[in-house]
Amino acid sequence: MFIHMKELQFRAKPEKPDPVYARKLQEVLGGQYGEMSVMMQYLFQGFNCRADRKYRDMLLDIGTEEIGHVEMLSTMIAQLLDGAPADQVDEAAKDPMIAAALGGMNPQHAIVSGLGATPTDSNGYPWNSKYIIASGNLLADFRANLNAESQGLLQVVRLYEQTTDPGVRDMLSFMIARDIMHQNQWLAAIEEIEAIEGPIAPASFPRERSVEEVTRQFMNFSVGEESSAGRWANGTLPDGTGDFEYVANPTAYGDAPVLNPPAKHQHSTLGTGPYVVNEGFEK
Amino acid sequence: MFIHMKELQFRAKPEKPDPVYARKLQEVLGGQYGEMSVMMQYLFQGFNCRADRKYRDMLLDIGTEEIGHVEMLSTMIAQLLDGAPADQVDEAAKDPMIAAALGGMNPQHAIVSGLGATPTDSNGYPWNSKYIIASGNLLADFRANLNAESQGLLQVVRLYEQTTDPGVRDMLSFMIARDIMHQNQWLAAIEEIEAIEGPIAPASFPRERSVEEVTRQFMNFSVGEESSAGRWANGTLPDGTGDFEYVANPTAYGDAPVLNPPAKHQHSTLGTGPYVVNEGFEK
Amino acid sequence: MFIHMKELQFRAKPEKPDPVYARKLQEVLGGQYGEMSVMMQYLFQGFNCRADRKYRDMLLDIGTEEIGHVEMLSTMIAQLLDGAPADQVDEAAKDPMIAAALGGMNPQHAIVSGLGATPTDSNGYPWNSKYIIASGNLLADFRANLNAESQGLLQVVRLYEQTTDPGVRDMLSFMIARDIMHQNQWLAAIEEIEAIEGPIAPASFPRERSVEEVTRQFMNFSVGEESSAGRWANGTLPDGTGDFEYVANPTAYGDAPVLNPPAKHQHSTLGTGPYVVNEGFEK
Amino acid sequence: MFIHMKELQFRAKPEKPDPVYARKLQEVLGGQYGEMSVMMQYLFQGFNCRADRKYRDMLLDIGTEEIGHVEMLSTMIAQLLDGAPADQVDEAAKDPMIAAALGGMNPQHAIVSGLGATPTDSNGYPWNSKYIIASGNLLADFRANLNAESQGLLQVVRLYEQTTDPGVRDMLSFMIARDIMHQNQWLAAIEEIEAIEGPIAPASFPRERSVEEVTRQFMNFSVGEESSAGRWANGTLPDGTGDFEYVANPTAYGDAPVLNPPAKHQHSTLGTGPYVVNEGFEK
Amino acid sequence: MFIHMKELQFRAKPEKPDPVYARKLQEVLGGQYGEMSVMMQYLFQGFNCRADRKYRDMLLDIGTEEIGHVEMLSTMIAQLLDGAPADQVDEAAKDPMIAAALGGMNPQHAIVSGLGATPTDSNGYPWNSKYIIASGNLLADFRANLNAESQGLLQVVRLYEQTTDPGVRDMLSFMIARDIMHQNQWLAAIEEIEAIEGPIAPASFPRERSVEEVTRQFMNFSVGEESSAGRWANGTLPDGTGDFEYVANPTAYGDAPVLNPPAKHQHSTLGTGPYVVNEGFEK
Amino acid sequence: MFIHMKELQFRAKPEKPDPVYARKLQEVLGGQYGEMSVMMQYLFQGFNCRADRKYRDMLLDIGTEEIGHVEMLSTMIAQLLDGAPADQVDEAAKDPMIAAALGGMNPQHAIVSGLGATPTDSNGYPWNSKYIIASGNLLADFRANLNAESQGLLQVVRLYEQTTDPGVRDMLSFMIARDIMHQNQWLAAIEEIEAIEGPIAPASFPRERSVEEVTRQFMNFSVGEESSAGRWANGTLPDGTGDFEYVANPTAYGDAPVLNPPAKHQHSTLGTGPYVVNEGFEK
C-alpha cells in the first residue's frame, strides 16, 4: 500500500519555458531507460521477490523513490511547455525562430496532452513493459538494474548539457546524484550476491553438463585478429575456472542442416496436384 | 561484409518432434533476451563503435557468432515442428493428449510460418529493436551485454529442464557453455574499462555539479527498516568516494508543485464562455 | 456488406498546401482517438452485437459514417502535402522558413507514402487495435464511445486553432459538428441503458458479494485533505445505495505478504549447489 | 513523493495454486483496462493537473491507491504460480490434466519471470502507455476514467466467475467493491463538471463555428431504419440545443475528390522517361 | 462516403461452436495478412490515389468489398464462441477435453470481448497499420497487394483443413475463391503497368546513375555454389538489360570503416577527466 | 555459421555531416521496408527452407549480403551524425539554420545512441519482426520479396534526390543497383516457380472446392463504373481458367446475421437481476 506526500523529492522548476527541450526531456521520463522503466522494474522485482525480506524491502524502497522521480520529471515538463506557441500561428509565419521551435516540438504536447508530460519517449513512442525485467534471479536482475542506471545516467548527463536553464540543471543535478548512488547501490548488491554465488548467473547449473571447453574460448568470427588484444581473450576467467583461450579460426561442430519436406497440410510442396487434407467432408 | 558457411556452429537435431516445446523455445530465439537480441545488440554496438579498433572487432566477432546461434535455434525449432498434428483433426477429437498438444502449440506455427521458426517469443510477440541498446559508452553497453547474457542463460537453463529430449539438451548444453563464456567475456571487458574509468558510467561528469550528499544515501521510502541490512546501505561506496548512509526518513527537498492554468488554446479551463484562438478567419 | 459512393460526406480542400500541418492533422486520423479508432470501435461493436437489432443497426450506421471521415481526412492530408518541398534542397539551404518546414514535416510523407496520408498519428506511430474496445456490455461500451468522442472533439478543436486555412477550418467545422452530435448520441444512449440498469456497469453482479462498505468510501491516500472538497466525497452516491464517506486515513485490510521460496526449477535460490531438475537423461 | 507500507490494502492469498488462472488474472493487471492502466492514467492526470488543487489531490489519491492494487494482484499471481508443474515433464506425459494445464499456462511465467507476475495481459502482450490518456480537460478525462472503471469491473466480474477459489474470490470481492466506488466517484465528478460546463467536452468552442444543423442529426448510413427506434434519434438533445433528427438518407455535402498528379520527386507517375530531381551533382 | 447493407456477402454460420478454432480463425481477421490488412491497404491506396480515376475506383471497390469480409469473419467468430465453456469450471475439472479446450482458447474472448471477435491475430496480438503500405507507386503497391493475397490465401487454405465444420468450410470456400480472383486481379493489373513501365519499380531512375555492373550479378555470399543452379543466376534478366552473372566470390568495393572519436558532448571517450559542455552556467 | 570481413561491400562515406539527413536515411535501415527487413526476411526464409537446397542456399546468400547492407547504412549514418550541433546551444539560439537543423534531427541520436545509427525508422519507430514473412511457400514468399525490393528501391530513389552529397549518392547508387538486381532475381525466381505451379499461390487447393464463379468476377462495390476499364476486368484470367467478368451490382449471397444473446457469464444481457455463475462457493 502506498501513500502520497505533496512535496516533490527535489525542486523542479525551469527558469523559463522551452517546449523543444520538453520533448527531449521526455526521453528520460518515458523512454527505454527513463524513470518509468526503473520505477516499474524495481516495483515488479519487489512484488515478486521470493528471497530474504531485506531484498524485497530494498527493491520496494527504491521503486517507491522512482515513482517520485516520474512525478518530478512530469512536473518539469509541464512547466517547460507553459506558453508553447501553439496559439501564435501568424507570428510563427513571420519569425523563423518560432517556426523552428514549433517544428521541433512534439505535436502531441499541443494536441493530445494539454501541454502536459506524456508517458512516451522523445519521439512520442509509448512506454511499454518489455523495457523491464523481473526474472526472480537476484544476480541477473541486479545486473539489469545496474545497466538501467548506467544508461539512464548517461542520457541525463547528455541532456544536462543540452540546456543552460538553471532550473532544469538544478533538478538534473539531483537526478544525476541519485543515479550515481543507484549505481553504487547495485554494485554493492551485486558484490554481496557474487560473494555467495560467484559471477555466473545462474550459478546452479552443473558445469559438467555444458560443453566445457567452449566456456573458455573467445572465438574470432572475422578475418583479422584485433580482437585478440583485450582482457576478454587473455588471462584468468572471471569465474575462476581457467584461462581465456583465443580461437583464431573457429570450427563448426555441426553439419549443414537438412530439413524434412513440408507437411502436406502446409501446402508448400512444389509440383503436387490439388488435394485436401482432413477429407470426409463434402461441400 | 559477411560470409555464410553451411555448417551449423553446433548440432541442432531433436530426437523427436515436440511442437509445444517448439513454442517455448521461441523465447530464447525471438524474446526480450533471445539470440536475436544479442545478435542485433552486438552488431549495432560494433557498427557504431568509435573507440579503439579492438573493441569494434570484438563486438563484431561476437555479433557474428550470434547470427549463427539464431540459425541453430531456427533449425531446431523447424525440426521440433515436424509432424505437428495440424492435419489430424479427428484423432485430436479422440485423444486428449493430442488435443492438449494442439492447445499448447503456437497456432501461427501451423497457419503462418509453414512449421518454421518465427522471429517472435513464446507468446508470439514479435521481436522489436527496443530490446537492444548501443549507447556509444563502452561501460554502459558492456553492462547491458552482461545483463543480456545473464538473463539469457537463466532462460536457457530453465528451458533445458523443461525437456528431456537428448538432442535438444545437447544443443542447449552448447548454448549454455557459450553464455557462460560470454558472461566471462563481459566481466573481463568491464574490468578493463573500470580500471581506466572507475565504476560509474559515465565517468566524465564532474561530481561537484551533482547534489553530492545524495550520491551516498540509501533512502528508506517505506515504513520499516529491513532494507538497512544489506551491503547497499553499509560500508564503503564502490566508487570509493565515501561510505553508504542509511536515511530512515527521507525528507522532501522540493515544495508541492503549482502549475499554471491551462493555455487558452488548450480548451481546458473550467467555466469560460466560448471563444476561438487565432481569430481573423471568418467562415 | 458495404457500398462506396464517390462523393465525400463534406468538402475537404485546403486553400493551400501546408506539409507541417498535414503531419499534425494525422493525429485525428490515425492517433489514439482519431477517426480510425472510432470507425473500428463502432464496426466491431456492431459486428459482435448480441443485443436488440436497433443497437446493432445504430452501431453500424455510425461506424459506416466514420469510414467516410477517414476518407475525408485522408483526402485533406494528401492535398496539404501537395508541393511539399522535398525537391528543393538548394532553396531550403537558403531559406530558413523552408528549412523549418522541412524539419517539421513527417519524413515518411516524402519517403514512404508518396505525399499521401498514413494510418499513423502525428509522430508517425502506427494505429493499433488496442486503441479500441468492444466488450459486449452496452453500458461499458457506450461510455468508451462517449470518451472517444470527447477526446476526439477536444483534439479537433485544438487543431482548428492551429491553422487559419479556410478550407481546413471548413472541413473541421463539419467534423466538430458531428463530434458534438455523437457526444449527444452516446449521452442519449447511455441514458436509455441506465434507465434499465442503473449507472454501474455491469449491473448484474450481486452487491452483497462485494465488500460493501468500501463501495462508498473515498480513500485519502495522501497527506492533506484537499480531496475532501469534491462531489466525489460528499452527498448521495450516484448509484443510490447511500452516501459518500471520506476516509482520511485508510487502513490496510491485508498483511505484509510473504511469498514461498523459488521453485527449484527456477534456479533463483541463493546459495545452493549445482543441480538439474528432470534427471534421468545423461548427456 | 511516495511512501510504501508493507501491508497490502486487502488480503491476496489463494487457497491453492492455479497457473492457468494466473495467466487469466494477468488481464486485469497488465491488460488494456487493467490496474496498471488506471494507476498510470490517474497519476499522469494528477501530475499534469492545472486545475483547482482539489482535483489534483483527488487524482493522486486514487492513483496512489491503484499502485496498491497492482501490488495486490502481483502478489496473488505469484502465489497462484506456486508449484507450477514446469518440473514434472514425465508426469505431464502421463496425466492429460497436467498436460492441459501446461498448455494453458503462459510459458513466460516459467521461463522469464521466475513464477512471478508480469506487466502484461492474459496473452503476454506488454502493457503500453497508449492505453491511457491525460488530456488536460477534466470532463473528457473523467469520462475516460469512468470508461476504464466500467470495462475493468466487467472484466473482474467475468474473472470472479471463472474460479471458485475462495481466496481469489475474496480479493476480487474487494476489487469489485472499489471499482463500484470508483464508478460512483467519476459519475459524481462528471456531475460536478457538467453543472458548470454542460455535457459537451470541450464546452468552449463556439457552436456557430460548427455546421450547426448536423449537430442534431442521426444519419442512417444503411439500408433499413431499425436505428430510428432509439433514444439517440428521438427527443431532446442532451446538450439542450434542440431535438434529435433522423436522416434516413444522408446526402453528400462534398464532391468526388480529384487529387493532383504525383510530385516529380515521388517517382510515381506512369510513363515518364528516366530523370533525376535536384540535378547539378555528377557522380 | 459509404453505405451499409445488412446482408452478408456470403453465408457465415458454423454448424456448431468451436472456441479453439475461433482463436485460430482470428489470424485471417486481424493478423499480418488478415482481412483487416487488405481492407485498410486498399482503402488507403485508394484515398491517396493520384493516378487515373479507374485505379482509384478499382482500389476503393476492392477495399469496400474487404470491409464486408471483416464483417463475415467477425460474425463467424462470434458464433464459434457461442457456448464457450467459461462457465463450467467444475465440469472442466472433470473432463480433460473441456480443460484442453479452455487451455486452447484465447482467454480474452471470455474476459475482454464478450465472446466476440477481436481485431487481433491468433495469439491476441493487435492489428497495427505497419502491416500495410500505400506508397503512391502503382507497380510497387500492386506487388504488395499480390503478396498480401498470396499469403492470405495460403493461410485460409491451411485453416480450411484444420476444421471439418461444414459451415466454416462453406464460408472459407467463398473467401478462397475471392482470394483466387484477387490474385488474378493484381496479376492483371501488374501486367497492365509493366507493359508501360517495364518490370523494375520505380522505372524512372536513370540506370546510368547506378553502379550498372552490379544490376546483373548474383553474388554468392557463402561457401559452396548450390545457388548457381537457379533461374536467378542464369539467362536473360527479366528487365531485358542483359544476362545474369554468377559471382562466386564477391569482392568488397569498400574499405574497413574508421569512425571519428565520440563528440565530447556524448561522454563516451575513455580516459578523460571530468568536464561539462556548454559552460557558462554556475549552479 | 557466419564470418565477418572488415571491408564494407561498398564505399559509405559522406562528403560532410548532415544530421537531418541521417534521420531520414534511417527509414531504409530500420523502417518497414529497410535493409533490416530484407536481411531478416531472407535469413528466416533460408533457415526454415524445406525445399530443394538451391533455394536455401540462394536465400541465405542474399540474406547474408543484406547484413552487409545494414552495416553500410549504419556506417554512413554514424558519419552523417559527426559534428551534430548538440553542444552548441548558444550558437543555435543565434542561428535559425542551426535551430532548424536541431529541430529536424532525431533527438535520440544525441541522447540515446551516441551519434550512432539506431535500429529504427525515420520517426524513431523501432524495427519489429511483423515487417517480415517466411511462410514456407516459395511463390508466396518470393512475391513478398519482390514487393520488399520494389518498395525499398522506391524509397532509396526518393532519398537519393533529397541529398546532393556526393558521398551519400555514391553509396546509394550502389544500393539502387543491388535493388534493381534483386528485383530481377525475384522476378526470375517467380518465373521458375510459376512454370511449375501456375500463378495462384498455393496451387494445391482443388478449385472445385471453392465457389468457382466468383474466382472470375470483379465486383463493383461502388456507384459508378470507372473500374470496369482496367485489365483486371477484361480479357483472360492470368491463371488461364477463363475470362474476367465485371459485376456492376454485386448481390449478397448471405442473410443479415442474427447472433445469439450473450452467455450468462458475460454479464452483458440488459435487464436481468443480479446473479453469480459457478455457484457453490459461499464467501
Residue B89: pLDDT over 60: no
B277 lies within 8 A of chain D by CB: no
Among the partner-chain residues B48, B120, B133, the one whose CB lies closest to the CB of F74 is B48
Residue C83 has a pLDDT of 78
Q: Which residues of E touch D124 (CB under 8 A)?
A: 124
| Residues A180-205 pLDDT 10s | 999 999 999 999 999 999 999 999 99
Is residue C255 less than 8 Å (CB to CB) from chain E?
A: no
pLDDT band at E113 (very low <50, low <70, confident <90, very high): very high
User: B206 contacts in E (CB within 8 Å)?
Assistant: 274-276
Least confident of A79-93, B46-60, D99-113: A79-93
Give the burial string for E221-249 (b: 16+ CB within 10 Å, else e).
Answer: bbeeebbbbbbbbeeebbbeeeebebbee
Contacting residues of A for F205, CB less than 8 Å apart: 267, 274, 276
Q: Which domains are delineated in chain D?
A: 19-197 (1.20.1260.10), 207-247 (no CATH)
Question: Beta strands of chain A (E only): which ranges?
Answer: 2-4, 217-219, 245-247
pLDDT at E191: 98
Which cell numbers in the block locate residue E203? 522505372
pLDDT at F225 over 80: yes
Name all chains with 3 or more CB-CB pairs below 8 Å to chain F: A, B, C, D, E
DSSP single-letter state for residue A194: H
- Nearest chain A residue to F105 by CA: give it: A104
Percent of chain C with pLDDT over 90: 89
- State the complex-level ipTM: 0.97
Half-sphere exposure at residue D10, Cβ-oriented, CA atoms within 13 angstroms:
24
pLDDT at position E283: 45
Q: How far is A207 from chain E (nearest CA, A)?
A: 34
Mean pLDDT of C211-219: 97
pLDDT tens-digit readout, B176-227: 999 999 999 999 999 999 999 999 999 999 999 999 999 999 999 999 999 9
Q: What is the pLDDT of residues B125-176, one digit of tens each?
A: 999 999 999 999 999 999 999 999 999 999 999 999 999 999 999 999 999 9
CA distance E56 to D229: 37
More confident residue, C94 or D65: D65
- For chain E, give the mean pLDDT: 93
Q: How confident is the model at residue A110 (pLDDT cuts 50, 70, 90)?
A: very high
Given pLDDT bands bounded at 50, 70 and 90, which one contains residue A278? confident
Cβ contact D123–E112 (<8 Å): no
Q: What is the mean pLDDT of residues C83-97?
A: 61
pLDDT-derived band at E277 (thresholds 50, 70, 90) equals: confident
Residue D282: the pLDDT is 47
Phi then psi for residue F217, to 5 deg, are: -100, 125
Q: Please report, rounded to a whole number, the percentage of residues in chain E having pLDDT higher than 90.
A: 89
User: Which pLDDT belongs to residue D279?
Assistant: 75
Mean pLDDT over D17-36 rounds to 96
Predicted pLDDT of residue F89: 55
Q: What is the pLDDT of residue D283?
A: 45
pLDDT at A96 over 90: no
Query: Residue range A217-244: average pLDDT?
Result: 97
Q: Is C55's pLDDT higher than 80? A: yes
pLDDT of residue F86: 58
**D107–chain C Cβ distance below 8 A for any pair:** no
Return the closest-CA partner of residue E238 out of E188, E182, E197, E205: E197
Q: Chain F residue closest to E253 (CA)?
A: F10
Collect all residues of chain C within an 8 Å Cβ-Cβ radius of residue F221: 2-4
Burial of A187 per CB tally in 10 Å (0-12, 13-18, 19+): buried
Query: Is the Cβ of A263 closer than 8 Å to some Cβ of chain E?
Result: no
Determine contact, residues B3/B86, Cβ cutoff 8 Å.
no
pLDDT at F156 over 60: yes
Inform me whether the C-beta atom of residue D226 falls under 8 Å from chain F C-beta atoms.
no
Task: Please state, in angstroms and rounded to a whole number, the distance separating the CA atoms of residues A110 and A76.
Answer: 16
CA distance B82 to B110: 11
Q: Could you say which residues from 30 to 69 on chain E have a Cβ atom under 8 Å away from some Cβ of chain C?
A: 30, 36, 40, 43-44, 47-48, 50, 57, 60-61, 63-65, 67-68
Look at the alpha carbons of D60, D63, D69, D71 in this order and tell me if their dihedral is positive or negative: negative
Q: Please report the pLDDT score of residue D86 as a whole number.
A: 57
CB contact under 8 A, D123 and E126: no
Q: How far apart are CA B55 and CA A37, in angstroms?
A: 29
* Whether residue A257 has a cis bond before it, omega within 30° of 0: no
CA distance F252 to E6: 9
How distant is the Cα of B185 from the closest Cα of chain E, in angstroms? 19
Please give the pLDDT value at position A258: 96
Taken in order A142, A143, A144, A148, is the CA torsion positive or negative? positive
Interface test with C, best of A112, A115, A135 (most C CBs within 10 A): A112
Q: Which of C155, C161, C171, C269 would best serve as a mutation to test chain B binding (most B beta carbons within 10 A)?
A: C161
Q: Residues of B with CB below 8 A from E268's CB?
A: 50-51, 135-138, 202
Interface test with F, best of C204, C205, C211, C212 (most F CBs within 10 A): C204
Residue of D nearest to B158 (CA): D111
Percent of chain B with pLDDT over 70: 92
Verify whether the Cβ–Cβ distance C158 to B265 is below 8 Å: yes
Model pLDDT, residue C282 = 47
pLDDT digit string, tens, across residues E46-77 = 999 999 999 999 999 999 999 999 999 999 99
pLDDT in tens, B102-113: 678 999 999 999
pLDDT of residue B80: 97
- Chain E from 187 to 206: CB within 8 A of any B CB: none
Q: Note if the bond before B202 is cis, omega within 30 degrees.
A: yes
Whether E164 and chain A come into contact, CB under 8 Å, resolves to yes
| CB spacing of D107 vs B266 below 8 angstroms | no
Is some CB atom of chain F closer than 8 A to the CB atom of D174?
Answer: no
Residue F283 has pLDDT above 70, yes or no: no
* Mean pLDDT (whole number) for C75-84: 93
User: pLDDT digits over D239-275, tens only?
Assistant: 999 999 999 999 999 999 999 999 999 999 999 989 9
Mean pLDDT of C64-82: 98
Give the whole-angstrom CA distance, residue E23 versus residue B107.
9
Distance CA C184, CA D226 (A): 19
CA distance F53 to A217: 32
**Which pLDDT score, from 0 to 100, does residue F245 have?**
98
Strand (E) or helix (H) holding F217: strand F217-219
User: What is the percentage of chain C residues whose pLDDT exceeds 70?
Assistant: 92
Q: Does A100 reach chain B within 8 Å, measured CB to CB? A: no
Q: Is A59 exposed, middle or buried (0-12, 13-18, 19+ CB in 10 A)?
A: buried
Select the residue of B30, B50, B57 nearest F129 (Cβ to Cβ).
B30
**Does residue A124 carry a pLDDT above 60?**
yes
Number of inter-chain CB pairs under 8 A, C vs F: 122
Neighbours of A94 (CB within 10 A): 10
User: What is the average pLDDT score of chain C?
Assistant: 93
Under an 8 A CB cutoff, do E223 and B6 touch? yes
Task: Tell me the per-residue pLDDT of F234-257, one tens digit each, with 9 for 90 and over.
Answer: 999 999 999 999 999 999 999 999
CA distance B129 to chain A (A): 11
Inform me whether the pLDDT recorded for F109 exceeds 70: yes
Q: What is the tens place of the pLDDT at every residue in E124-142?
A: 999 999 999 999 999 999 9
Among candidates D6, D5, D21, D35, which has minimal Cα distance to D165? D21
Reported confidence tier of residue C84, pLDDT bands at 50, 70, 90: confident
Considering all CA atoms of chain F, what is the largest pairwise distance in Å, rounded to the nearest integer? 79
Digit-coded pLDDT (tens) for D250-260: 999 999 999 99
Give the mean model confidence (pLDDT) for residues E98-108: 79
What's the rounded Cα separation, in Å, for the pair B40 and B43? Answer: 5
Mean pLDDT of A216-234: 97
Cell representation of residue E283: 549552479
* pLDDT tens, position by position, A31-80: 999 999 999 999 999 999 999 999 999 999 999 999 999 999 999 999 99
Q: Is the predicted pLDDT of residue A280 greater than 70, yes or no?
A: no
Per-residue confidence (pLDDT) for residue F37, from 0 to 100: 98
pLDDT at D97 over 70: no
- E118 shares contact with chain D (CB less than 8 Å): no
Checking if the pLDDT of F99 tops 80, the result is no
Flag whether pLDDT at C240 surpasses 60.
yes
Chain D, chain F: beta-carbon pairs less than 8 Å apart = 45
Assign E104 a pLDDT band (cuts: 50, 70, 90): confident
Grid coordinates of A124: 512520442
Q: Looking at per-residue confidence, does B40 or F86 come out higher?
A: B40
Confidence of residue E99 (pLDDT cuts 50, 70, 90): low
Q: What is the pLDDT of residue A279?
A: 75
CA separation (Å) from A219 to A211, B9, B64, B185, E5?
Answer: 15, 11, 10, 11, 66
Residue C59 has pLDDT above 70, yes or no: yes
For C119-177, write each residue's pLDDT tens digit: 999 999 999 999 999 999 999 999 999 999 999 999 999 999 999 999 999 999 999 99
Mean pLDDT of chain D: 93
Of all residues in chain F, what percent carry a pLDDT higher than 90? 89
CB half-sphere exposure, E245, CA atoms < 13 A: 11
Give me the mean pLDDT over the F17-42 stretch.
97
Residues of A in contact with E266 (CB under 8 A): 158
**F268, F272, F281: best mutation site toward chain C, by most C Cβ within 10 Å?**
F268
Closest CB to E103 among B104, B136, B209: B104
Distance from CA of F159 to the nearest CA of A (A): 21
User: Which grid coordinates belong to C51?
Assistant: 443485443
